[in-house]
Protein backbone atom coordinates (compact mmCIF):
# COMPACT_ATOMS: atom_id res chain seq x y z
CA UNK A 1 0.00 0.00 0.00
CA UNK A 2 2.82 2.53 0.67
CA UNK A 3 4.02 1.89 -2.89
CA UNK A 4 0.56 2.24 -4.46
CA UNK A 5 -0.25 5.42 -2.54
CA UNK A 6 3.22 6.94 -2.23
CA UNK A 7 3.09 6.81 1.56
CA UNK A 8 6.32 7.64 3.38
CA UNK A 9 5.31 7.38 7.03
CA UNK A 10 2.46 6.37 9.27
CA UNK A 11 -0.08 7.33 10.20
CA UNK A 12 -1.16 8.31 6.71
CA UNK A 13 -4.80 8.99 6.10
CA UNK A 14 -6.60 9.20 2.74
CA UNK A 15 -10.22 10.12 2.17
CA UNK A 16 -11.93 8.19 -0.63
CA UNK A 17 -15.41 9.13 -1.83
CA UNK A 18 -18.35 6.95 -2.88
CA UNK A 19 -17.03 6.73 -6.46
CA UNK A 20 -13.63 5.48 -5.35
CA UNK A 21 -11.97 8.85 -5.98
CA UNK A 22 -9.35 10.40 -3.73
CA UNK A 23 -11.12 13.24 -1.95
CA UNK A 24 -8.23 14.17 0.34
CA UNK A 25 -4.71 12.86 -0.35
CA UNK A 26 -2.05 11.51 2.01
CA UNK A 27 -2.30 13.36 5.30
CA UNK A 28 -0.56 12.74 8.61
CA UNK A 29 -3.13 12.51 11.37
CA UNK A 30 -3.51 10.41 14.48
CA UNK A 31 -6.88 9.26 15.81
CA UNK A 32 -6.18 10.94 19.14
CA UNK A 33 -3.74 13.34 20.75
CA UNK A 34 -1.85 10.58 22.55
CA UNK A 35 1.35 11.36 20.64
CA UNK A 36 0.85 15.12 20.27
CA UNK A 37 3.77 15.97 22.54
CA UNK A 38 6.13 13.89 20.41
CA UNK A 39 4.76 14.63 16.95
CA UNK A 40 3.26 18.10 17.27
CA UNK A 41 0.15 16.83 15.46
CA UNK A 42 -3.21 17.85 16.85
CA UNK A 43 -5.83 15.34 15.71
CA UNK A 44 -8.84 17.48 16.59
CA UNK A 45 -8.96 19.65 13.46
CA UNK A 46 -8.65 16.64 11.14
CA UNK A 47 -11.35 14.73 13.01
CA UNK A 48 -13.64 17.74 12.90
CA UNK A 49 -13.17 18.04 9.12
CA UNK A 50 -13.64 14.29 8.69
CA UNK A 51 -16.89 14.23 10.63
CA UNK A 52 -18.24 17.18 8.63
CA UNK A 53 -17.36 15.46 5.34
CA UNK A 54 -18.90 12.13 6.37
CA UNK A 55 -22.10 13.84 7.50
CA UNK A 56 -22.28 15.84 4.28
CA UNK A 57 -21.95 19.10 6.17
CA UNK A 58 -18.76 20.13 4.36
CA UNK A 59 -17.16 19.20 1.04
CA UNK A 60 -13.82 17.48 0.71
CA UNK A 61 -11.11 19.12 -1.36
CA UNK A 62 -11.70 19.89 -5.03
CA UNK A 63 -9.81 17.70 -7.56
CA UNK A 64 -7.48 20.63 -8.26
CA UNK A 65 -6.79 21.04 -4.55
CA UNK A 66 -6.14 17.29 -4.15
CA UNK A 67 -3.61 17.36 -7.01
CA UNK A 68 -1.95 20.47 -5.60
CA UNK A 69 -1.43 18.66 -2.28
CA UNK A 70 -0.15 15.42 -3.78
CA UNK A 71 3.53 14.64 -3.40
CA UNK A 72 4.04 12.17 -6.24
CA UNK A 73 6.80 9.54 -6.09
CA UNK A 74 10.11 10.23 -7.84
CA UNK A 75 12.40 7.81 -9.67
CA UNK A 76 14.63 7.73 -6.58
CA UNK A 77 11.62 6.91 -4.37
CA UNK A 78 10.77 3.94 -6.58
CA UNK A 79 14.35 2.74 -6.75
CA UNK A 80 14.45 2.88 -2.96
CA UNK A 81 11.33 0.70 -2.79
CA UNK A 82 12.94 -1.79 -5.19
CA UNK A 83 16.05 -1.91 -2.97
CA UNK A 84 13.84 -2.35 0.10
CA UNK A 85 11.97 -5.24 -1.56
CA UNK A 86 15.28 -6.89 -2.41
CA UNK A 87 16.66 -6.39 1.10
CA UNK A 88 13.47 -7.72 2.69
CA UNK A 89 13.61 -10.83 0.51
CA UNK A 90 17.27 -11.43 1.41
CA UNK A 91 16.50 -10.99 5.12
CA UNK A 92 13.66 -13.49 4.96
CA UNK A 93 15.92 -15.99 3.20
CA UNK A 94 18.45 -15.76 6.03
CA UNK A 95 20.94 -13.40 4.35
CA UNK A 96 20.69 -10.51 6.79
CA UNK A 97 24.30 -9.44 6.28
CA UNK A 98 23.88 -9.17 2.53
CA UNK A 99 20.53 -7.41 2.94
CA UNK A 100 22.16 -4.61 4.90
CA UNK A 101 23.77 -2.79 1.97
CA UNK A 102 20.43 -2.79 0.14
CA UNK A 103 18.65 -1.34 3.18
CA UNK A 104 21.37 1.29 3.38
CA UNK A 105 21.07 2.10 -0.32
CA UNK A 106 17.28 2.41 0.03
CA UNK A 107 17.76 4.90 2.89
CA UNK A 108 20.28 6.88 0.83
CA UNK A 109 17.89 7.09 -2.11
CA UNK A 110 14.87 8.12 -0.03
CA UNK A 111 16.01 9.42 3.39
CA UNK A 112 12.55 10.92 3.95
CA UNK A 113 10.82 7.54 3.59
CA UNK A 114 10.22 6.39 7.15
CA UNK A 115 8.22 3.35 6.02
CA UNK A 116 11.53 2.04 4.67
CA UNK A 117 13.90 3.30 7.35
CA UNK A 118 11.84 2.56 10.45
CA UNK A 119 9.96 -0.31 8.83
CA UNK A 120 13.19 -2.24 8.27
CA UNK A 121 14.56 -1.81 11.80
CA UNK A 122 13.15 -4.95 13.43
CA UNK A 123 14.42 -7.10 10.55
CA UNK A 124 17.85 -5.51 11.01
CA UNK A 125 17.92 -6.17 14.74
CA UNK A 126 17.33 -2.50 15.60
CA UNK A 127 14.71 -1.12 17.96
CA UNK A 128 12.26 1.08 16.03
CA UNK A 129 11.25 2.71 19.34
CA UNK A 130 14.85 3.18 20.50
CA UNK A 131 18.12 4.83 19.65
CA UNK A 132 18.02 4.02 15.93
CA UNK A 133 14.76 5.91 15.52
CA UNK A 134 15.90 8.68 17.84
CA UNK A 135 18.86 9.31 15.51
CA UNK A 136 16.49 9.70 12.56
CA UNK A 137 14.24 12.01 14.58
CA UNK A 138 17.16 14.21 15.70
CA UNK A 139 18.58 14.45 12.17
CA UNK A 140 15.13 15.24 10.88
CA UNK A 141 14.83 18.10 13.36
CA UNK A 142 18.32 19.42 12.61
CA UNK A 143 17.78 19.38 8.84
CA UNK A 144 14.19 20.63 9.15
CA UNK A 145 12.97 17.59 7.23
CA UNK A 146 9.64 16.74 8.85
CA UNK A 147 8.96 13.15 9.87
CA UNK A 148 5.22 13.80 9.66
CA UNK A 149 3.78 15.75 6.78
CA UNK A 150 0.24 16.97 7.43
CA UNK A 151 -1.48 18.73 4.55
CA UNK A 152 -0.79 22.43 4.54
CA UNK A 153 -4.41 23.20 5.39
CA UNK A 154 -4.09 21.05 8.51
CA UNK A 155 -3.28 22.60 11.89
CA UNK B 1 25.04 -23.04 -18.82
CA UNK B 2 22.07 -21.21 -17.37
CA UNK B 3 21.48 -19.91 -13.87
CA UNK B 4 18.16 -19.32 -12.16
CA UNK B 5 17.46 -15.70 -11.34
CA UNK B 6 14.71 -14.84 -8.87
CA UNK B 7 12.89 -11.78 -10.17
CA UNK B 8 10.88 -9.89 -7.55
CA UNK B 9 8.16 -7.80 -9.17
CA UNK B 10 4.57 -6.75 -8.61
CA UNK B 11 4.38 -8.64 -5.32
CA UNK B 12 5.63 -11.86 -6.93
CA UNK B 13 8.85 -13.85 -7.07
CA UNK B 14 9.40 -15.56 -10.43
CA UNK B 15 12.23 -17.90 -11.35
CA UNK B 16 13.86 -17.10 -14.69
CA UNK B 17 16.67 -18.90 -16.48
CA UNK B 18 19.46 -16.52 -17.51
CA UNK B 19 22.82 -17.08 -19.18
CA UNK B 20 24.69 -14.24 -17.47
CA UNK B 21 23.78 -12.94 -14.02
CA UNK B 22 25.86 -9.80 -14.57
CA UNK B 23 23.82 -8.93 -17.66
CA UNK B 24 20.60 -10.92 -17.32
CA UNK B 25 18.56 -11.53 -20.41
CA UNK B 26 15.21 -13.28 -20.61
CA UNK B 27 13.38 -15.06 -23.37
CA UNK B 28 10.41 -13.53 -25.15
CA UNK B 29 8.24 -16.27 -23.61
CA UNK B 30 9.45 -15.43 -20.10
CA UNK B 31 8.80 -11.76 -20.77
CA UNK B 32 5.20 -12.48 -21.58
CA UNK B 33 4.69 -14.97 -18.76
CA UNK B 34 6.26 -12.86 -16.03
CA UNK B 35 5.62 -9.24 -16.99
CA UNK B 36 2.84 -9.55 -19.57
CA UNK B 37 4.73 -7.68 -22.31
CA UNK B 38 5.39 -8.88 -25.86
CA UNK B 39 8.07 -7.75 -28.28
CA UNK B 40 6.51 -6.80 -31.59
CA UNK B 41 7.87 -4.89 -34.62
CA UNK B 42 6.29 -1.69 -33.21
CA UNK B 43 7.95 -2.13 -29.80
CA UNK B 44 7.09 -3.60 -26.40
CA UNK B 45 3.36 -4.17 -26.27
CA UNK B 46 0.81 -5.05 -23.63
CA UNK B 47 -2.95 -4.97 -24.17
CA UNK B 48 -3.51 -2.04 -26.51
CA UNK B 49 -0.37 -0.13 -25.60
CA UNK B 50 3.07 -0.26 -27.25
CA UNK B 51 6.29 1.40 -26.12
CA UNK B 52 8.98 2.27 -28.62
CA UNK B 53 12.30 0.57 -27.85
CA UNK B 54 15.67 0.22 -29.58
CA UNK B 55 15.41 -3.44 -30.51
CA UNK B 56 19.09 -3.66 -31.49
CA UNK B 57 19.94 -2.69 -27.93
CA UNK B 58 17.23 -4.84 -26.34
CA UNK B 59 17.72 -8.12 -28.21
CA UNK B 60 20.94 -10.04 -27.78
CA UNK B 61 22.20 -13.58 -28.22
CA UNK B 62 20.83 -14.66 -24.84
CA UNK B 63 17.44 -12.99 -25.17
CA UNK B 64 16.04 -9.65 -24.08
CA UNK B 65 18.36 -7.58 -21.93
CA UNK B 66 16.55 -7.09 -18.62
CA UNK B 67 18.25 -3.75 -17.90
CA UNK B 68 17.31 -2.29 -21.29
CA UNK B 69 13.81 -3.64 -20.74
CA UNK B 70 13.55 -2.00 -17.32
CA UNK B 71 14.78 1.31 -18.75
CA UNK B 72 12.23 1.15 -21.55
CA UNK B 73 9.45 0.52 -19.03
CA UNK B 74 10.87 3.25 -16.72
CA UNK B 75 11.03 0.70 -13.91
CA UNK B 76 13.97 0.56 -11.49
CA UNK B 77 15.95 -2.69 -11.54
CA UNK B 78 18.32 -3.52 -8.69
CA UNK B 79 20.04 -6.82 -8.05
CA UNK B 80 22.20 -8.93 -5.80
CA UNK B 81 24.48 -11.14 -7.88
CA UNK B 82 25.65 -13.26 -4.95
CA UNK B 83 22.13 -14.57 -4.35
CA UNK B 84 20.93 -14.37 -7.97
CA UNK B 85 18.00 -12.13 -7.18
CA UNK B 86 16.76 -8.93 -8.79
CA UNK B 87 13.98 -6.55 -7.86
CA UNK B 88 12.00 -4.75 -10.55
CA UNK B 89 10.18 -1.82 -8.97
CA UNK B 90 7.17 0.09 -10.17
CA UNK B 91 7.63 3.03 -12.51
CA UNK B 92 7.40 6.40 -10.80
CA UNK B 93 5.67 7.64 -13.93
CA UNK B 94 2.96 4.96 -13.66
CA UNK B 95 2.51 5.46 -9.93
CA UNK B 96 2.34 9.23 -10.30
CA UNK B 97 -0.08 9.07 -13.20
CA UNK B 98 -2.35 6.70 -11.29
CA UNK B 99 -2.41 8.93 -8.22
CA UNK B 100 -2.91 12.11 -10.24
CA UNK B 101 -5.93 10.49 -11.94
CA UNK B 102 -7.48 10.58 -8.41
CA UNK B 103 -8.87 7.06 -8.85
CA UNK B 104 -7.90 5.42 -5.56
CA UNK B 105 -5.63 2.47 -6.40
CA UNK B 106 -7.38 -0.78 -5.57
CA UNK B 107 -5.73 -3.35 -3.31
CA UNK B 108 -6.65 -6.51 -1.46
CA UNK B 109 -5.46 -7.33 2.06
CA UNK B 110 -6.35 -10.03 4.60
CA UNK B 111 -8.01 -9.25 7.92
CA UNK B 112 -6.90 -10.92 11.17
CA UNK B 113 -8.92 -14.04 10.28
CA UNK B 114 -7.35 -14.31 6.84
CA UNK B 115 -10.44 -13.11 4.96
CA UNK B 116 -9.56 -10.96 1.97
CA UNK B 117 -10.95 -7.45 1.55
CA UNK B 118 -10.58 -5.13 -1.41
CA UNK B 119 -10.95 -1.39 -1.40
CA UNK B 120 -13.35 -1.73 -4.33
CA UNK B 121 -15.70 -3.80 -2.12
CA UNK B 122 -16.61 -0.52 -0.44
CA UNK B 123 -17.65 1.40 -3.56
CA UNK B 124 -20.75 3.47 -2.83
CA UNK B 125 -19.54 4.38 0.66
CA UNK B 126 -17.11 6.98 1.91
CA UNK B 127 -13.87 5.30 2.95
CA UNK B 128 -11.26 6.49 5.42
CA UNK B 129 -8.04 4.71 4.52
CA UNK B 130 -5.66 4.69 7.49
CA UNK B 131 -2.15 3.26 7.19
CA UNK B 132 -0.62 2.55 10.58
CA UNK B 133 2.15 0.40 11.97
CA UNK B 134 3.28 -0.86 15.32
CA UNK B 135 6.78 -1.09 13.76
Structure confidence by residue, pLDDT tens digits, B80-129: 999 999 999 999 999 999 999 999 999 999 999 999 999 999 999 999 99
Q: How many CB pairs under 8 A join A and B?
A: 143
Distance CA(A50)–CA(B50), nearest Å, equals 42
B118 strand-pairing partners: B108
Q: Is A82 in contact with B6 (Cβ distance < 8 A)? A: no
Q: How far is B129 from chain A (nearest CA, A)?
A: 5
pLDDT in tens, B45-59: 999 999 999 999 999
Cβ contact A69:A151 at 8 Å: yes
pLDDT of residue A38: 86
**Nearest CA among A25, A127, A37, A35 for reference residue B100:** A25
Q: Is A20 in contact with B89 (Cβ distance < 8 A)? A: no
Number of continuous H segments (helices) and E segments (strands) in chain A: 8, 2
Sign of the dihedral through C-alpha B32, B35, B39, B40: positive
ipTM given for this complex: 0.93
**Which of B73, B74, B92 to mutate against chain A (most A CBs within 10 Å)?**
B92
Cβ contact A44:A54 at 8 Å: no
Q: B18: exposed, middle or buried (C-beta count within 10 Å: 0-12, 13-18, 19+)?
A: buried
Q: How far is B1 from chain A (nearest CA, A)?
A: 25
Find, in chain B, the residue whose alpha carbon is nearest to that of A62: B102
Q: What is the pTM of this model?
A: 0.93
Q: A45: exposed, middle or buried (C-beta count within 10 Å: 0-12, 13-18, 19+)?
A: middle
Amino acid sequence: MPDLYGMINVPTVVWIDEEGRIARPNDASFASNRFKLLTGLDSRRHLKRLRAWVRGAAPALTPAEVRAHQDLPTAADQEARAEFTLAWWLSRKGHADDAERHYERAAELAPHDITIRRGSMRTRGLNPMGLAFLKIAVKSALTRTPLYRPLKDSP
Amino acid sequence: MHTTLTLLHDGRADQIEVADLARPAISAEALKETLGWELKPEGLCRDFMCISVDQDELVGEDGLDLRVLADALQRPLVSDGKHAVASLGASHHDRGEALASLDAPDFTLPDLDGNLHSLSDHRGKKVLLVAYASW
